[in-house]
Amino acid sequence: MKVTAIKGVGEKTALALAKLNINEVEDVFLHLPRNYDIYERPILIKEIDNKAVVSIEGTVIRSLEMSHIKNLTVISTTIRDEAGDTIKVKWFNMPFLRNTVKYSMKFIFRGRIKRLNNSIVMEQPEILTLGKYDEKINEMQPIYSLTKGISNNLMIKTVKEALKMCNHKDYMPDDMRGKYDICEYKFAINNIHFPADYEALKLARKRLAFDEFFAFIYKMNKLKEKEIAIPNQYIINNFELSDNIIKNLEFELTNSQKSVLEDIRNDISGNKVMQRLIQGDVGSGKTIIAFLSMFDMAYAGLQSALMVPTEVLANQHYESINKIIEDNNLDISVVLLTGSMTAKQKKLAYEKIVNKEALIVIGTHAVFQEKVVYDKLALVVIDEQHRFGVMQRATLMEKGYNPHVIIMSATPIPRTLAIILYGEMDISIIDELPANRLPIKNCVVTKDYRPKAYKFIENQVNQGRQAYVICPMIEENDMLEAENVVDYANVLRENLPSNINVQYLHGKMSAEGKNDLLTKFYNNEIQVLVSTTVIEVGINVPNATVMMVENAERFSLASLHQLRGRVGRGNHQSYCVFISATNSEEKLKRLEILNKSNDGFYIASQDLKLRGPGDFFGIRQSGEMQFNIADIYTDADLIEKAKKAVEEFISKDYEFIDKNMNNDIFIIA
């Protein structure tokens, strides 16, 4: 049913909603809040820390003053809390407040904290009596992703109306719901938008996460039925080329790498098509394994494609493989295929692929687009993007290809989970790092440490090394108190000698701009790279030895673990400096986990234990394996349940129609 069926939604609103991919009434249900506005218990002024919005119970200790700035009328006063601390509060264009807010009165003030130099001000607070606030406490208002023409209030109204039309029959029969301990679909969808309370929200989220896993595992089961033991159309027995390349490498493969390579060789020389997941922590050397297998295909005159999640990574792999080709004087042509290439460049690439001039293709999801026609696609390697890999098989099969598939992942998932999520895949694990690696030294510090950190970076650069500095934001933003790459690069330029080239990088730059900067960084023409987390996945610059992260408290530990994996990739001692903008013990404790462990799964699961309800939707851990709401770390137990449920479902011949679950392939462009 079209959205226009919803009361209050006209053509104009429908057009705006379409921009959010909301076309049908169903889509409204699944436009989940990205967070909730919660009226939490008031806190003391000294507890504000770096919170953005707070409620303070305070007494007005000064009569309201009015002033004019440009065309704004500003009303301001100061309030004092129970502990005797004071904070200034300000309102814009609300002169009438002088009639309600008076000297010595007590209210709860709820507003945004604005920081200026060393002082803080609360802006535009709501004013509530203690009684009124008590009623509102813990009430959760959904906050949605919006677009022009759709305000949060309009979204709320639309969702409310749409929910009245929700008449879904739950696909999960009552007895099974009881058994797997999940709530009704209708309850879930109502409470995910407008939670009755926190418990209801948890139940709702659990149900929807369960549904996502259920749909995913169900589909995989169907897929598996179809492809049991697909015969190997591309039997490779000759490994002469890869053996020669291995001999010419600057390093010796680790035993783990050798054993994985052996697994692959057994697969591709066998009589079934290969489907293998290679798990190995960041820096364990997965790329070379992929390249070697691709060379074996090329040697047999067959094509292979390597797909990665970002353009910068595609570019990097493209350069590395070409280096191997040069070093070995090979006559093999590789093409790069990414979304940002011009139509002309793409056309040229397509031609080289279809006429078999290029046997190796490296790119983003562009490598599988409609227009790409392979001659004999014998091997597909997918780097850092599991889920895509599994689902992509179906598409490839539909296109008439039955290639060998390798999926490479740095997310250490316990074997039991991997078996469920990659049901049909065999698993190889690289469980050792190259021998020349020294363990990374970590430290978690506060902002006071910065001068020392800058000095440290300077020393490392003087020794010929390089550094990454990560900031959460691209540029200054009123809403958030956090470092941004543009300003930070300037600060570093001021604090470091002028012979050190400092540049910044972020996701909104053009692909060309990003590639250019990364190439310069790779060649050590740039010594310090200030970046957002775009460099989190896969980037490999072995000469970089310092990873400094500003506002480390804002990142998930899994993300910090990935960032840390950008250093310690060569034979130099590497360092990680996590700078926390907060002194809050709890947050520092969380970061300390990184010091203790190097096991990504352990890190992510501990992280979740230490986070509070306010982080409800902020806790997405895995950058790979993207589900809408479920998270393979938080919901590990649900995955097992969903698997059992799917088995029961299928054995009972129940029908499952996947109409209201968005389980499409997720691609990070």
Binding site for Mg ion (CB under 5 A): 538
State the minimum distance, in angstroms, from the CB of residue 291 to Mg ion: 11
Site string for ligand ADP, 391-430 (x = CB under 6 A): -------------------x--------------------
Residue nearest to Mg ion (CB): 538
Identity of the residue, 261 or 453, whose beta carbon is nearer to ligand ADP in the bound complex: 261
Instruction: Give yes or no for residue 552 binding ligand ADP (CB under 6 A).
Output: no
Identity of the residue, 188 or 288, whose beta carbon is nearer to ligand ADP in the bound complex: 288
Rg from Cα positions in the chain: 28
State the minimum distance, in angstroms, from the CB of residue 654 to ligand ADP: 42
| Region of 246-254, 494-502, 574-582, 644-652 interacting with ligand ADP (CB under 6 A) | 246-254
Give the one residue of 287, 315, 460, 515 binding ligand ADP; rule: CB under 6 A: 287
Query: CA 208 to CA 547: how far, in whole Å?
Result: 37
Pairing between β-strand 575-580 and β-strand 544-549 as defined by DSSP bridges: parallel
Pairing between β-strand 426-430 and β-strand 275-280 as defined by DSSP bridges: parallel
3-state class (DSSP) for residue 539: coil
Residue 284 interface partner, choices ligand ADP, Mg ion, none, CB cut-off 5-8 Å depending on type? ligand ADP
Identity of the residue, 185 or 291, whose beta carbon is nearer to ligand ADP in the bound complex: 291
Please list every residue from 434 through 453 that binds ligand ADP, using CB under 6 A.
434, 436
Could you write out the DSSP letters of every residue in 273-316? --EEEEEE-TTS-HHHHHHHHHHHHHHTT-EEEEE-SSHHHHHH
Dihedral sign from CA coordinates of 599, 602, 605, 609: negative
| Region of 69-77, 247-255, 368-376, 450-458 interacting with ligand ADP (CB under 6 A) | 247-255
Residue type, 52: A
Query: CA 478 to CA 475: how far, in whole Å?
Result: 10
Residue 392 interface partner, choices Mg ion, ligand ADP, none, CB cut-off 5-8 Å depending on type? none
Query: CA 484 to CA 531: how far, in whole Å?
Result: 9
Query: CA 198 to CA 196: how far, in whole Å?
Result: 7
Residue 285 interface partner, choices Mg ion, ligand ADP, none, CB cut-off 5-8 Å depending on type? ligand ADP
Please list every residue from 521 through 540 that binds ligand ADP, using CB under 6 A.
540
Give the one residue of 108, 140, 282, 306 binding ligand ADP; rule: CB under 6 A: 282
| Region of 29-37, 115-123, 279-287, 464-472 interacting with ligand ADP (CB under 6 A) | 279-287
| Structure tokens belonging to residue 231 | 């015969």
Give the one residue of 122, 159, 264, 288 binding ligand ADP; rule: CB under 6 A: 288
* Nearest of 425, 433, 383, 388 to residue 408 by alpha carbon: 383
Q: How many residues sit in the footprint of ligand ADP (CB under 6 A)?
A: 18
Instruction: Give yes or no for residue 257 binding ligand ADP (CB under 6 A).
Output: yes
- Are the C-beta atoms of residues 577 and 571 closer than 8 Å to each other? no
Instruction: Give yes or no for residue 382 binding ligand ADP (CB under 6 A).
Output: no
Query: CA 615 to CA 69: how far, in whole Å?
Result: 37
| Structure tokens belonging to residue 547 | 């990873």
Residue 283 interface partner, choices ligand ADP, Mg ion, none, CB cut-off 5-8 Å depending on type? ligand ADP
* Nearest of 233, 223, 268 to residue 423 by alpha carbon: 223
State the minimum distance, in angstroms, from the CB of residue 539 to Mg ion: 9
State the minimum distance, in angstroms, from the CB of residue 405 to Mg ion: 17
Instruction: Give yes or no for residue 253 binding ligand ADP (CB under 6 A).
Output: yes
Q: Which long-range contacts (CB under 8 A, 24 or more apart) does 393-399 make?
A: 393/223, 393/227, 393/275, 394/223, 395/368, 395/665, 396/368, 397/226, 397/227
Residue type, 390: V
Sheet with 426-430, side-by-side order of all strands: 334-337, 360-363, 303-307, 377-383, 404-409, 275-280, 426-430
Identity of the residue, 195 or 283, whose beta carbon is nearer to Mg ion in the bound complex: 283
Helix (H) or strand (E) holding 89: strand 86-92
Query: CA 413 to CA 385: how far, in whole Å?
Result: 13
- Are the C-beta atoms of residues 29 and 1 closer than 8 Å to each other? no
State the minimum distance, in angstroms, from the CB of residue 517 to ligand ADP: 19
Residue nearest to ligand ADP (CB): 285
Identity of the residue, 285 or 309, whose beta carbon is nearer to ligand ADP in the bound complex: 285
Give the one residue of 42, 58, 195, 283 binding ligand ADP; rule: CB under 6 A: 283
Give the one residue of 280, 389, 403, 568 binding ligand ADP; rule: CB under 6 A: 280
- Are the C-beta atoms of residues 40 and 616 closer than 8 Å to each other? no
Four-point Cα dihedral 517, 519, 520, 526, nearest 10:
70
State the minimum distance, in angstroms, from the CB of residue 534 to Mg ion: 15
Site string for ligand ADP, 569-608 (x = CB under 6 A): x---------------------------------------
Give the one residue of 542, 588, 610, 666 binding ligand ADP; rule: CB under 6 A: 542
State the minimum distance, in angstroms, from the CB of residue 290 to ligand ADP: 8
Instruction: Give yes or no for residue 562 binding ligand ADP (CB under 6 A).
Output: no
Residue 21 interface partner, choices Mg ion, ligand ADP, none, CB cut-off 5-8 Å depending on type? none
Residue 600 interface partner, choices Mg ion, ligand ADP, none, CB cut-off 5-8 Å depending on type? none
Residues contacting 42, CB < 8 A, separation 6+: 54, 55, 56, 57, 108, 133
| Region of 19-27, 175-183, 232-240, 248-256 interacting with ligand ADP (CB under 6 A) | 248-256
Alpha carbon of residue 486 to chain centroid: 22
Identity of the residue, 212 or 281, whose beta carbon is nearer to Mg ion in the bound complex: 281
Query: CA 43 to CA 430: how far, in whole Å?
Result: 49
Identity of the residue, 125 or 389, whose beta carbon is nearer to ligand ADP in the bound complex: 389
Instruction: Give yes or no for residue 285 binding ligand ADP (CB under 6 A).
Output: yes
Residues contacting 615, CB < 8 A, separation 6+: none
Instruction: Give yes or no for residue 561 binding ligand ADP (CB under 6 A).
Output: no
| Region of 87-95, 275-283, 370-378, 597-605 interacting with ligand ADP (CB under 6 A) | 275-283
Provide the binding-site residues for ligand ADP, judged by CB under 6 A. 251, 253-254, 257, 280, 282-288, 410, 434, 436, 540, 542, 569
